[in-house]
Amino acid sequence: MTDKKNAGFSPLWAGFLCKCPNCAKGRLFGRFLKVAPSCAACGFDFPESDAGDGPAVFIVLIVGFVVTFAALLVEVKYAPPYWLHAVLWLPLTLGLSIGLLQPFKGLLLAIQFHHGAAEARIEDNEPGPR
Ligand SMILES: [Zn+2]
Protein backbone atom coordinates (compact mmCIF):
# COMPACT_ATOMS: atom_id res chain seq x y z
CA MET A 1 0.00 0.00 0.00
CA THR A 2 1.37 3.37 -0.92
CA ASP A 3 1.24 6.03 1.75
CA LYS A 4 -0.51 9.03 0.28
CA LYS A 5 -2.47 9.93 3.36
CA ASN A 6 -1.04 13.46 3.31
CA ALA A 7 -1.22 14.11 -0.42
CA GLY A 8 -3.14 17.39 -0.22
CA PHE A 9 -6.64 16.00 -0.07
CA SER A 10 -8.76 14.39 2.56
CA PRO A 11 -9.18 10.67 1.93
CA LEU A 12 -12.35 10.84 4.00
CA TRP A 13 -13.85 13.56 1.82
CA ALA A 14 -12.72 11.64 -1.28
CA GLY A 15 -14.49 8.56 0.07
CA PHE A 16 -17.66 10.52 0.75
CA LEU A 17 -17.55 11.74 -2.86
CA CYS A 18 -17.10 8.09 -3.96
CA LYS A 19 -13.58 8.74 -5.24
CA CYS A 20 -10.43 6.70 -4.66
CA PRO A 21 -9.11 7.44 -1.15
CA ASN A 22 -5.55 7.09 -2.50
CA CYS A 23 -5.64 9.72 -5.26
CA ALA A 24 -9.15 11.28 -5.07
CA LYS A 25 -9.49 10.98 -8.85
CA GLY A 26 -10.63 7.49 -9.80
CA ARG A 27 -14.01 6.05 -9.00
CA LEU A 28 -14.36 3.95 -5.87
CA PHE A 29 -17.42 2.01 -7.01
CA GLY A 30 -17.82 -0.12 -10.09
CA ARG A 31 -21.55 -0.60 -9.70
CA PHE A 32 -23.95 0.93 -7.21
CA LEU A 33 -22.46 -0.51 -4.00
CA LYS A 34 -19.85 -2.83 -5.50
CA VAL A 35 -16.32 -1.57 -4.89
CA ALA A 36 -14.19 -1.53 -8.03
CA PRO A 37 -11.22 -3.92 -8.01
CA SER A 38 -8.73 -1.08 -8.47
CA CYS A 39 -8.54 2.63 -9.17
CA ALA A 40 -8.60 3.51 -12.87
CA ALA A 41 -6.56 6.67 -12.25
CA CYS A 42 -3.71 5.50 -9.99
CA GLY A 43 -3.98 1.71 -10.15
CA PHE A 44 -4.38 1.37 -6.38
CA ASP A 45 -5.84 -2.02 -5.57
CA PHE A 46 -8.77 -1.45 -3.30
CA PRO A 47 -8.42 -3.81 -0.41
CA GLU A 48 -11.11 -6.34 0.26
CA SER A 49 -12.71 -3.98 2.75
CA ASP A 50 -16.17 -4.47 4.03
CA ALA A 51 -18.11 -1.66 5.61
CA GLY A 52 -20.72 -4.16 6.82
CA ASP A 53 -23.88 -2.58 8.14
CA GLY A 54 -22.12 0.65 9.09
CA PRO A 55 -23.52 2.83 6.30
CA ALA A 56 -27.06 1.60 6.92
CA VAL A 57 -26.81 2.37 10.63
CA PHE A 58 -25.70 5.96 10.02
CA ILE A 59 -28.37 6.43 7.36
CA VAL A 60 -31.13 5.06 9.59
CA LEU A 61 -30.11 7.47 12.34
CA ILE A 62 -29.67 10.53 10.11
CA VAL A 63 -32.65 10.01 7.79
CA GLY A 64 -34.82 8.91 10.71
CA PHE A 65 -34.04 12.11 12.55
CA VAL A 66 -34.56 14.38 9.54
CA VAL A 67 -37.81 12.79 8.38
CA THR A 68 -39.29 12.44 11.86
CA PHE A 69 -38.45 16.04 12.72
CA ALA A 70 -39.89 17.29 9.43
CA ALA A 71 -43.05 15.18 9.81
CA LEU A 72 -43.61 16.42 13.35
CA LEU A 73 -43.02 20.00 12.30
CA VAL A 74 -45.49 19.76 9.41
CA GLU A 75 -48.06 17.99 11.58
CA VAL A 76 -47.91 20.60 14.33
CA LYS A 77 -47.90 23.57 11.97
CA TYR A 78 -50.36 22.46 9.24
CA ALA A 79 -52.09 19.27 10.49
CA PRO A 80 -52.41 17.78 6.98
CA PRO A 81 -54.33 14.53 6.34
CA TYR A 82 -52.41 11.30 6.83
CA TRP A 83 -52.32 10.47 3.12
CA LEU A 84 -50.36 13.67 2.55
CA HIS A 85 -47.84 12.57 5.18
CA ALA A 86 -47.42 9.29 3.31
CA VAL A 87 -47.01 11.10 -0.02
CA LEU A 88 -44.43 13.45 1.47
CA TRP A 89 -42.32 11.29 3.76
CA LEU A 90 -42.19 7.87 2.10
CA PRO A 91 -40.50 9.10 -1.10
CA LEU A 92 -38.25 11.41 0.92
CA THR A 93 -37.21 8.53 3.17
CA LEU A 94 -36.52 6.23 0.22
CA GLY A 95 -34.70 8.91 -1.74
CA LEU A 96 -32.48 9.99 1.12
CA SER A 97 -31.73 6.41 2.18
CA ILE A 98 -30.77 5.20 -1.28
CA GLY A 99 -29.01 8.43 -2.16
CA LEU A 100 -26.82 8.41 0.94
CA LEU A 101 -25.84 4.73 0.82
CA GLN A 102 -22.96 5.14 -1.63
CA PRO A 103 -21.41 8.25 0.00
CA PHE A 104 -21.54 6.69 3.48
CA LYS A 105 -20.13 3.39 2.27
CA GLY A 106 -17.36 5.34 0.52
CA LEU A 107 -16.73 7.30 3.70
CA LEU A 108 -16.49 4.20 5.87
CA LEU A 109 -14.19 2.47 3.36
CA ALA A 110 -12.02 5.61 3.27
CA ILE A 111 -11.85 5.62 7.07
CA GLN A 112 -10.66 2.01 6.93
CA PHE A 113 -8.07 2.99 4.31
CA HIS A 114 -6.96 6.03 6.32
CA HIS A 115 -6.37 3.98 9.45
CA GLY A 116 -4.90 0.99 7.63
CA ALA A 117 -7.61 -1.36 8.85
CA ALA A 118 -7.24 -4.97 7.82
CA GLU A 119 -8.87 -8.26 8.63
CA ALA A 120 -7.46 -10.01 11.67
CA ARG A 121 -5.17 -12.87 10.82
CA ILE A 122 -2.93 -15.31 12.62
CA GLU A 123 0.75 -15.27 11.73
CA ASP A 124 1.98 -18.58 10.36
CA ASN A 125 5.18 -18.50 12.43
CA GLU A 126 3.43 -18.19 15.79
CA PRO A 127 3.60 -21.29 17.94
CA GLY A 128 0.26 -22.77 18.79
CA PRO A 129 -2.06 -25.65 18.18
CA ARG A 130 -2.69 -26.60 14.59
ZN1 LIG B 1 -6.70 6.25 -7.19
Q: How far is the CA of 19 from the centre of ligand 1 (A)?
A: 8
In a domain, 129, yes or no: no
Q: How far is the CA of 123 from the centre of ligand 1 (A)?
A: 30
Residue 27's φ and ψ, nearest 5 degrees, are -80, 140
| Residues in the chain where the model's pLDDT stays below 50 | 1-3
pLDDT at 2: 47
Q: In total, how many domains does the chain have?
A: 1
In a domain, 17, yes or no: yes
In a domain, 1, yes or no: no
Q: How far is the CA of 58 from the centre of ligand 1 (A)?
A: 26
Domain holding 26, by residue range, is 11-114
Compute the distance between CA of residue 99 and CA of residue 109 in angstroms, rounded to an integer.
17
pLDDT at 81: 97
In a domain, 83, yes or no: yes
Q: How far is CA 18 from CA 70, 105, 121, in A?
A: 28, 8, 28
In a domain, 95, yes or no: yes
Q: How far is the CA of 27 from the centre of ligand 1 (A)?
A: 8
